[in-house]
Amino acid sequence: MSKKGRSKGEKPEMEVDAVQMANEELRAKLTSVQIEFQQEKSKVGKLRERLQEAKLEREQEQRRHTAYISELRAKLHEEKTKELQALREVLIRQHEQEAARTAKIKEGELQRLQATLNVLRDGAADKVKTALLAEAREEARRAFDGERLRLQQEILELKAARKQAEEALSNCMQADKAKAADLRAAYQAHQDEVHRIKRECERDIRRLMDEIKGKDRVILALEKELGVQTGQTQKLLLQKEALDEQLVQVREAERYHGSPKRELPPGIGDMAELMGVQDQHMDERDVRRFQLKIAELNSVIRKLEDRNTLLADERNELLKRSRETEVQLKPLVEKNKRMNKKNEDLLQSIQRMEEKIKNLTRENVEMKEKLSAQASLKRHTSLNDLSLTRDEQEIEFLRLQVLEQQHVIDDLSLVCLHERERQPSVGRMRPRPREWQQGCRAMLLAGWDLTELLLVMGTFPLCSSRKQPPPVYTTS
């Protein structure tokens, strides 16, 4: 009986030791899972910090790019202004040289005609005078007819050039408006795409944060269950110790009853046998109860192991999702950078188009104002000033006209460079105003002397100012 009791007592001890070892292993696994979870939390925090750093770097890079682009614009503007200033100075010098040469030629003609006039006034013969007058009249008529035809041809050419310029201006304005509309639509589409990508990223981040919070709650619940189970195991250990004490007492009682040194009366032996049978039944019941408790503990341990495996699978899935989110966010960040760069290019092109449209509209308004002013200018009615001051004024008029044409040519060249499209090239022609021809016709009809007409023709043949037309002389 004692051997059976010992074997029965050793088996529960071994099983309880196995249960304790399993509990210790489960605790070690739980601690490792908690450590891994803390590591995952730290990794998620690092990922957030990296995302913030990437955002800051992107903003700094964008600011640097904008500053660099502004510097490049300023440098380009300065270089263009320097080149235009040099070209204007060269053209001004050329025009001054041409004006000086024409002034010298006109001064020589004026001196020659003045000498002829002096000879005629000094009382030459009537025949010479009439012959000279007839010859001068015929020559003036031929020159006037040729000049009239040439002026008419130049007027037609100028009208055609003006019409072409207006058509080109209208085409450019329409093309600029269409391009500006396309650029605005593309810019709006890019902005919508960027906002959509941002919303998707924020949605994914919120979803991941919700999943992490859910996992935290699950881990807290598991920790609570583990605490409850540890309390149950401690309770079972206390019960085991109590059972061990009972077993020791039973063994001592068996030794006491079964020792051969003591002689008992026969009635007492029967009582001892009955008590041994009862103790045996009690031991069997205790063993069964212990076996049932051990089976329950094994089932609890299996459940804990299953939950640990589930937690490990969920942790692996979270790691996989975090890596996938990193891989997904990388092209989104690159795409965002490309979108920002493209938006900057579109803004620059839109600004260039708007500046070009403003310049073209301003030029159109200036041309219309000049044409209206040219049609409404008054005619001068005096022939008293034939001195060299008039030549200087005409030279100044010519200089202003050349400067104005140079400004127009510079603006058109800038428009051509920015647009890179076909633009009508209007050749520079020396315009001769209609008022000069009308003034000559009015003087002939008024009965002016031929010498005076020749003087006027020699003094004002090349007047071409749009600001102020040449004087038209009538009889006082």
pLDDT in tens, 221-262: 877 877 787 777 778 778 778 878 887 888 777 776 554 444
Least confidently predicted of 51-55, 94-98, 184-188, 446-450: 446-450
Least confident of 82-86, 322-326, 361-365, 375-379: 375-379
Helices 450-459 & 126-258 angle (0-180, nearest 10): 20
Q: Residues 36-49, buried b or exposed e (16+ Cβ, 10 A)?
A: ebeebeeeeeeeee
Higher pLDDT, 285 or 472: 285
Q: What does the pLDDT average to over 256-273? A: 46
Token digits of residue 458: 């020699």
Pseudo-torsion of CA 332, 334, 340, 346, nearest 10°? -110
> Using CA atoms, how far apart are residues 307 and 303, in angstroms rounded to an integer?
6
pLDDT higher than threshold 80 for residue 186: yes
Comparison of pLDDT for 182 and 322, the residue scoring more: 182
For every residue of 80-133, DSSP letters joined together read HHHHHHHHHHHHHHHHHHHHHHHHHHHHHHHHHHHHHHHHHHTT--HHHHHHHH
User: What's the whole-number mean pLDDT along residues 249-278?
Assistant: 54
Bigger pLDDT: 430 or 221? 221
- As a whole number, mean pLDDT of residues 104-114 equals 85
Residue 81 is assigned to a structural domain of this protein: yes
Residue numbers of the domain that contains 116: 26-122
Is the four-CA dihedral 126, 128, 131, 136 of positive or negative sign? negative
Range picked from 3-17, 68-82, 272-286 for highest mean pLDDT: 68-82
Mean pLDDT of 135-150: 84
Q: Which residues contact 143 (CB under 8 A, 6 or more apart)?
A: 457
- Residues with Cβ within 8 Å of 456's Cβ and at least 6 positions away in sequence, in order, are 383, 439, 440, 443, 473
pLDDT: is 168 or 381 the higher one? 168
Is residue 51 within 8 A of residue 329, CB to CB? The reply is yes
- Among candidates 94, 85, 188, 170, which has minimal Cα distance to 357? 170
pLDDT for res 313: 84
Choose between 211 and 438: higher pLDDT.
211
**When comparing pLDDT for 425 and 286, which is higher?**
286
Structure pTM?
0.25
Q: Do 419 and 408 touch, CB atoms closer than 8 A?
A: no
Residue 378 has pLDDT above 80, yes or no: no
The predicted structure's pLDDT at residue 182: 86
Residue linked to tokens 């004692």: 2
Alpha-carbon span 382 to 385, nearest angstrom: 8
State the angle between helix axes of 434-445 and 126-258 in degrees (0 to 180), rounded to the nearest 10. 160
Say if residue 271's pLDDT is above 70.
Answer: no
Domain assignment present for 183: no
- The gap from C-alpha 429 to its chain's centroid, in whole angstroms, comes to 46
Q: Indicate if the pLDDT at residue 147 is higher than 80.
A: yes
Contact 151, 437 (CB under 8 A): yes
**Residue 376: what residue type?**
S
Instruction: Please answer whether residues 397 and 467 qualify as being in contact, where contact means their C-beta atoms are separated by less than 8 angstroms.
Output: yes
Q: What is the reported pLDDT for 357?
A: 75
Q: Which residue has the higher pLDDT, 158 or 449?
A: 158
Distance, CA of 120 to chain centre: 82
- Give the residue with greater pLDDT, 124 vs 431: 124
Domain membership of residue 103 (yes or no) is: yes
Residue bearing the bigger pLDDT, 431 or 322 = 322
Predicted confidence at residue 385, as pLDDT, reads 45
**Residue 70, domain member (yes or no):** yes
CA distances for 472 relative to 102, 137, 149, angstroms: 21, 20, 20
Percent of the chain with pLDDT over 70: 68
Mean pLDDT, residues 45-71:
89
Q: Between 286 and 82, whose confidence is greater? A: 82
Q: Could you tell me if 453 and 440 are in contact, meaning their C-beta atoms sit under 8 angstroms apart?
A: yes
For the ranges 19-23, 71-75, 87-91, 388-392, the lowest mean pLDDT is seen at 388-392
Of 166, 198, 145, 460, the C-alpha closest to 333 is: 198
Most confident of 14-28, 304-318, 361-375, 447-461: 14-28
CA distance 137 to 142: 9
Mean confidence (pLDDT) of the chain: 73
Greater model confidence, 308 or 66: 66
User: Any idea what the Cα angle at residue 106 is, between residues 101 and 111, rounded to 5°?
Assistant: 130
**Distance set, CA 216 to CA 28, 46, 222, 471 (Å):** 19, 18, 10, 98
Q: Is pLDDT at 268 greater than 50 in this prediction?
A: no
Work out the average pLDDT over 427-450.
49
- Mean pLDDT over 427-440 rounds to 47
Reported confidence tier of residue 442, pLDDT bands at 50, 70, 90: low
Q: Output 38-47 pairs: Cβ under 8 A, ≥24 positions apart.
A: 40/315, 40/318, 40/319, 41/212, 43/322, 44/212, 44/322, 47/322, 47/326
pLDDT for the residue numbered 416: 57
Residue 55 has pLDDT above 70, yes or no: yes
Number of domains in the chain: 1
